[in-house]
Amino acid sequence: MAAKPPTNPRQSARPTGRIVQLRKGATIEMVRLTCPDIDQALKIAESFGNAIVDSDGIRDLHERLINETADALSEGLGERAMQIHLQRIVGAFVGSAHGAGQFYSKAVTEARDATAKAANDARDEDLDGPVGYDSTAHRKREFAADMGIQAHALRMASEGAVDAYRQIVGDSWKPFDRPIENPGHSVDRRAAAAQMSAFE
């Protein structure tokens, strides 16, 4: 009986289907989970003495802005081109609000941690600073409050843009999920670029 020739693992392996990874875009639901709503923004403003933003005004203005943009472009763009353009424009508003919401969440976590540490009298570094200077925990709470108001304002802008998209296109806005080209290589390139920038 003749011996079997050694198998080449590359030849014997069946070709596998290509898995396309998608870069997920932020949704309006994600924005609502991370950014304060009207009631919470009002509570933050009253607790920290911040300006109370005109939430409805911001939303209405951005709704008008997108509608007026579509009106101005209506003669130059076909229906599908309009949809693609507005999808990208609204995506920018939603992405910006989601980024602000994530930053706000991080600021709240840091404020909570600093406040909990400050409650421990044995930690000298967390005690109040000299007269006229705020403690670290107080500064972090103030910063989180500022970020909360900003995230709320951007949430209202994105909600207005999403509402306008629905009116113009006749369908709910959804983010465009982009395929990631060579995900491993792009991470390597970004890491290399970041390292090289240290030498500049």
State pLDDT tens for residues 171-191: 999 987 666 555 555 566 777
Confidence (pLDDT) at 100: 96
Confidence (pLDDT) at 58: 96
Confidence (pLDDT) at 187: 60
pLDDT of residue 12 exceeding 60, the answer is: no
Grade residue 132 by pLDDT with cuts at 50, 70 and 90.
very low
Mean pLDDT across 54-67: 96
Q: 181: number of CA atoms within 13 Å, CB side?
A: 1
- 186 vs 139, higher pLDDT: 139
pLDDT of residue 104 exceeding 70, the answer is: yes
- 122 vs 108, higher pLDDT: 108
Joined together, the tokens standing for residue 106 give 């991080």
Confidence (pLDDT) at 20: 47
What residues does each domain of the chain span? 33-171
pTM: 0.72
Phi/psi class of residue 19: alpha, beta or left (left: φ > 0; alpha: ψ in -120 to 50)? beta
Please give the mean pLDDT across all residues of the chain.
82
Q: Are 165 and 90 in contact (CB under 8 A)?
A: yes
Confidence (pLDDT) at 97: 96
pLDDT of residue 51 exceeding 80, the answer is: yes
Can you give the three-state secondary structure of the chain, one letter per residue?
CCCCCCCCHHHHCCCCCCCCCEECCCCHHHHHHHCCCHHHHHHHHHHHCCCCCCHHHHHHHHHHHHHHHHHHHCCCCCHHHHHHHHHHHHHHHHHHHHHHHHHHHHHHHHHHHHHHHHCCCCCHHHCCCCCCCCCHHHHHHHHHHHHHHHHHHHHHHHHHHHHHHHHHHCCCCCCCCEECCCHHHHHHHHHHHHHHHCCC
pLDDT of residue 98 exceeding 70, the answer is: yes
